[in-house]
């Protein structure tokens, strides 16, 4: 048994190493790579991805998993060993169901679709994008057919990002939050944020963000922050975390974007040491991962306690822009709700409505109750209904997001689930750290990151998303009430102030 387990670990470590190099190649591509390096990078990424996949679906891993069944049953469910065997088995069985030819075609279509989308968006030309969308949908439907499902062919797609979640469960959560959010947005007060609409020097934005990042709980020498076009976070080990951000010449949005990526980074940084080089060295789902980026971006970095510590330093960094803006006006501006066209620029209250629209369209496309050619019309109607905004063109409408171009269908819901879950976990944090507000007020963030590290991040993927949520909250249910209560409180505070 021990020899088998050691052999399994060796095989998985090798695949994990290949994964690290794939992430590095992706990071470099988006942060450093000279423009003309693209084609060779694509070849190398494809080769590395193929080798990693071949090594994983290999029959030997299946044999080892088979032979380790009785051992798995003999050790604690919670142990690293049982979790490793259990989670690897599910991954392996999923991976084996997909013919290599389909997987290759999906990768290829995704890679080719990206440039088509870039051009289509630049030219506001949905017709040019339509064949790509149709091809990706077709491939995703074939992918879904590789699996069994009860409620919707959308469920196997969702499963790649939110394992073991049913489409109907997502719909239930979204049906609960949709009317409340829409009503909150309608009733939200107008807030003056004109002082955020002026020039903020990027190098000063960077210096301020790095000052805050130095306090959030990363070990020194385990992370870095670089500028990029579309911010993201990746990591090659728990001690090699790469945050990226985009400094806008106007406004401070980069700060919250940086804190968002720092949340992802803290998750990666907190993964248990014993899980390194295994498939468990990750978050259990994108929703849980996103819950933590949202926690650090919003629950921390838009909160009164946080800014009662950091607003003075911010004013000192930007005396011309903020010197005459009082604390309450700043707090109102960074917490305001304002319907807009673009998801990635959306505020905390409107954000999930953008997601609900995308989920609804994706599901109908996969269930074939909406034709791809009719998506722009449905999009525009949805934006009117949900957010009360008029979409002037497809570039600022249906073509705004990258996901569909590369076949990332089933991904969007995780953003809104993350918002919801972040508040469920935050409720627990508030009980576990009763003086959390006082800590934030004194600039003490490591109490929070330490608690989250110990109780959430360190678990990695040992448990399913629901098991993980249950360990924290006592219930496996995704409950939107704390989230809705939080937004209600936020907006009534705004109204009271306005």
Q: Which residues of this protein are in contact with its own copies, per CB under 8 A?
A: 13-14, 17-18, 20-21, 24-25, 28, 32-37, 39-41, 43-44, 46-48, 51, 219, 221-224, 236-237, 239-241, 276-277
Q: Is 367 a catalytic residue?
A: no
- Terminal Cα-to-Cα distance of the chain (whole angstroms): 67
Residue with tokens 């299946």: 62
Angle at 179 between CA 178 and CA 184, to 5 degrees: 100
- In the set 261, 290, 297, 362, the catalytic residue is 261
- φ, ψ of residue 244 to 5 degrees: the values are -130, 160
Indicate the residue among 176 and 222 with the shorter CB distance to its own copies: 222
Closest approach of its own copies to the CB of residue 230, in Å: 19
Closest approach of its own copies to the CB of residue 43, in Å: 6
Closest approach of its own copies to the CB of residue 218, in Å: 9
How far is Cα 244 from Cα 267, in angstroms, rounded to an integer? 15
How far is Cα 18 from Cα 12, in angstroms, rounded to an integer? 10
Is the CB of residue 32 less than 8 Å from the CB of residue 95?
A: no
- Local structure of 399: helix, strand or coil: coil
Residues 6+ apart with CB under 8 A from 447: 433, 436, 439
In sequence order, what are the beta bridge partners of 242? 224, 234
Closest approach of its own copies to the CB of residue 221, in Å: 4
CA-closest candidate to residue 117, choices 135, 102, 133, 141: 133
How far is Cα 176 from Cα 265, in angstroms, rounded to an integer? 30
Indicate the residue among 49 and 450 with the shorter CB distance to its own copies: 49
- Local structure of 252: helix, strand or coil: coil
- DSSP category for residue 295: I
How far is Cα 105 from Cα 119, in angstroms, rounded to an integer? 22
Closest approach of its own copies to the CB of residue 463, in Å: 24
Indicate the residue among 149 and 232 with the shorter CB distance to its own copies: 232
How far is Cα 155 from Cα 133, in angstroms, rounded to an integer? 19
Closest approach of its own copies to the CB of residue 241, in Å: 8
Closest approach of its own copies to the CB of residue 44, in Å: 4
DSSP assignment of 108-151 = HHHHHHHHHHHHHHHTT-HHHHHHHHHHHHHHHHHHHHTS--SS
Closest approach of its own copies to the CB of residue 2, in Å: 21
> DSSP alpha helices (H): ranges in 318-455?
319-322, 327-334, 348-366, 375-387, 413-432, 436-441, 446-455
Indicate the residue among 21 and 402 with the shorter CB distance to its own copies: 21
CA-closest candidate to residue 23, choices 227, 217, 232: 232
Is the CB of residue 305 less than 8 Å from the CB of residue 429?
A: no
Closest approach of its own copies to the CB of residue 91, in Å: 19
DSSP assignment of 207-241 = HHHHHHHTTTTPPTTSEEEEE-SS--EEEEETTEE
Is the CB of residue 332 less than 8 Å from the CB of residue 494?
A: yes
DSSP assignment of 167-211 = HHHHHHHHHHHHHHHHHHHHHPPP---GGGSSB--HHHHHHHHHH
Q: Which residues are catalytic?
A: 261
């Amino acid at each position: 048994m021990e020899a088998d387990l050691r052999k399994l670990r060796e095989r998985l470590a090798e695949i994990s190493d290949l994964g690290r190099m794939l992430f590095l190649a992706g990071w470099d591509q988006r942060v450093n790579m000279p423009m003309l390096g693209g084609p060779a990078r694509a070849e190398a990424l494809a080769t590395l991805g193929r080798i990693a996949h071949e090594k994983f679906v290999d029959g030997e891993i299946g044999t080892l998993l088979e032979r380790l069944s009785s051992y798995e049953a003999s050790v604690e469910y919670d142990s690293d060993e049982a979790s490793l065997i259990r989670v690897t088995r599910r991954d392996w069985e999923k991976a084996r169901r997909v013919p290599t030819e389909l997987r290759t075609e999906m990768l290829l279509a995704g890679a080719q679709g990206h440039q088509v989308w870039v051009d289509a968006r630049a030219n506001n030309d949905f017709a040019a994008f339509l064949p790509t969308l149709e091809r990706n949908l077709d491939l995703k439907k074939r992918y879904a057919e590789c699996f069994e499902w009860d409620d919707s062919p959308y469920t196997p797609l969702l499963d790649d990002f939110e394992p073991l979640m049913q489409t109907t469960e997502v719909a239930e959560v979204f049906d609960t939050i949709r009317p409340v959010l829409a009503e909150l947005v309608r009733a939200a007060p107008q807030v003056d944020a004109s002082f955020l609409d002026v020039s903020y020097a990027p190098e000063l934005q960077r210096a301020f963000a790095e000052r805050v990042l130095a306090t959030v709980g990363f070990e020194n020498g385990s992370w870095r922050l670089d500028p990029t076009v579309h911010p993201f976070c990746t990591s090659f080990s728990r001690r090699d975390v790469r945050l990226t951000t985009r400094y806008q010449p106007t406004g401070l949005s980069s700060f919250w974007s940086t804190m968002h990526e720092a949340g992802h980074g803290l998750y990666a940084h907190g993964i248990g040491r014993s899980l390194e080089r295994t498939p468990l060295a990750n978050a259990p789902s994108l929703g849980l991962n996103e819950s933590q980026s949202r926690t650090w971006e919003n629950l921390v970095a838009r909160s009164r306690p946080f800014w009662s510590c950091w607003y003075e330093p911010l004013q000192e960094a930007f005396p011309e822009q903020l010197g005459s803006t009082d604390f309450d006006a700043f707090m109102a501006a960074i917490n305001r709700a304002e319907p807009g066209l673009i998801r990635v620029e959306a505020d905390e209250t409107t954000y999930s409505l953008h997601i609900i629209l995308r989920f609804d369209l994706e599901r109908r496309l996969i269930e074939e109750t909406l034709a791809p050619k009719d998506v722009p019309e449905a999009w525009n109607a949805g934006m009117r209904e949900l957010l009360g905004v008029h979409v002037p063109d497809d570039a600022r409408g249906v073509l705004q997001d990258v996901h569909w171009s590369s076949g990332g269908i089933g991904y969007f819901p995780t953003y809104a689930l993350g918002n919801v879950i972040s508040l469920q976990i935050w409720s627990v944090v508030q009980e576990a750290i009763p003086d959390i507000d006082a800590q934030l007020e004194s600039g003490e963030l490591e109490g929070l990151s330490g608690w989250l590290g110990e109780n959430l991040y360190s678990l990695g993927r040992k448990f399913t998303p629901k098991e993980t949520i249950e360990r924290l909250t006592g219930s496996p249910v995704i409950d939107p009430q704390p989230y809705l209560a939080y937004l209600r409180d936020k907006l009534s505070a705004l109204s009271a102030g306005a």
